Amino acid sequence: MSELFSRLRLPEILFFGLIALCWEMASEWFGIRPYLLPSLSSVLAALWNNAGELYRHSIVTLNEVVVGYLWAVAGGLALGLAIHTVPLARRTVYPLIVLFQGLPKVALAPLMVIWFGYGLTSKVLMAFLFAFFPVVIGMLGGLESVPSHLREHFDAIGASRWTRFWRLQMPAALPSIVDACKTAMPLAVIGAIVGEFVGAEGGLGYVILSANASARSDLLFAALVVISILSTLLYLVVELLGRKVWWRGV
């Protein structure tokens, strides 16, 4: 984060400044109606005036995202490992989840609400469904990326399966796992918001829907801003955790 800011130089400031300016002046310069694209200042005002409410709804969404994401990471790693180690799982579970991945998961949201109601569970499941697949693939690809000469080395020194897993396969898979976890993070946010669109009593997706219904496009944009900040912050957390467990030296 600090690195991000310390690197900011004139070209970057000009670039983002210009975007902000165009946004602010959109209605005057390009004749875009404010209810279609409210000015930056009115969005900031909406953020300020509804801070308490947006905060409350952010917590709802954050909860859904984090719980769904953690299940997706835990489940994805476990399933990736299972597919890698159990030949039967590779022939049965693996094709199943690949098939399942082909479904538009957005279309599953109504089903989740029918099955699990308007509460937390259906959103957690949506976040999980969006984030799960990349983690499985990342784990699987990582475990398969172990070079054969290193495998042979572990054979030669008589390593047990346990040693091999913890000292060879997992470290070798880590870069791929970390990448998968980074990819999955924003997907979990999308999943939760989609879940909220279909039926919810709270959350930022709910705020967007109700702002839309009452033609409050400034609040709608404020909610969008909060979502993207939330998503970015979560991504940075995963990125920092990823750097802790793995350096990209090679």
Partner 1 sequence: MTSQADPADAQASAGAISIRGLSKTFGALKVLDDINCTIGEAEFVSTLGPSGCGKSTILRIIAGLVEPDAGAELRLLGEPFGGQSDQVGVVFQTHNMLPWLTVEKNIRLNCEVRGVARAEITRRVEEILPVLKLEGFREKYPHQISGGMKQRAALGQTLIAQPKVLLLDEPFGALDALTRDQLNVELLRLWQKIRKTVVLITHSISEAIFLSDRVLVMSDRPSRVVSDVRIDLPRPRDPKATREDPRFGQYVTQLSALMGVH
Give the binding site for partner 1 (CB under 8 A). Answer: 149-150, 152-160, 163, 167-168, 171, 174, 246-247, 249-250
Report the nearest approach of partner 1 to the CB of residue 235 (Å).
24
Q: How many CA atoms lie within 13 A of 183 on its CB side?
A: 16
Closest listed residue to residue 127, CA positions, set 114, 111, 109, 102: 109
Report the nearest approach of partner 1 to the CB of residue 183 (Å).
22
Q: Which pair of tokens denotes residue 16?
A: 């983002």
Nearer Cβ to partner 1 (71/246): 246
Report the nearest approach of partner 1 to the CB of residue 174 (Å).
8
Report the nearest approach of partner 1 to the CB of residue 158 (Å).
5
Report the nearest approach of partner 1 to the CB of residue 151 (Å).
10
Nearer Cβ to partner 1 (56/153): 153
Nearer Cβ to partner 1 (72/177): 177
Report the nearest approach of partner 1 to the CB of residue 4 (Å).
26
Nearer Cβ to partner 1 (118/246): 246
Nearer Cβ to partner 1 (6/148): 148
Which residues fall within 8 angstroms of residue 150, CB to CB, at 6 or more apart? Answer: 168, 172
Closest listed residue to residue 220, CA positions, set 208, 235, 206, 205: 208
Residues 166, 110: contact at Cβ < 8 Å? no
Instruction: Report how far Cα 232 is from the mean position of its chain's Cα atoms.
Output: 9
Nearer Cβ to partner 1 (44/146): 146
- Give the separation between CA 115 and CA 147, rounded to whole angstroms: 45
- Give the separation between CA 215 and CA 39, rounded to whole angstroms: 15
Amino acid at the residue 240: L
Amino acid at the residue 120: L
Residues 146, 169: contact at Cβ < 8 Å? yes
Instruction: Check residue 168 and report its DSSP letter.
Output: I
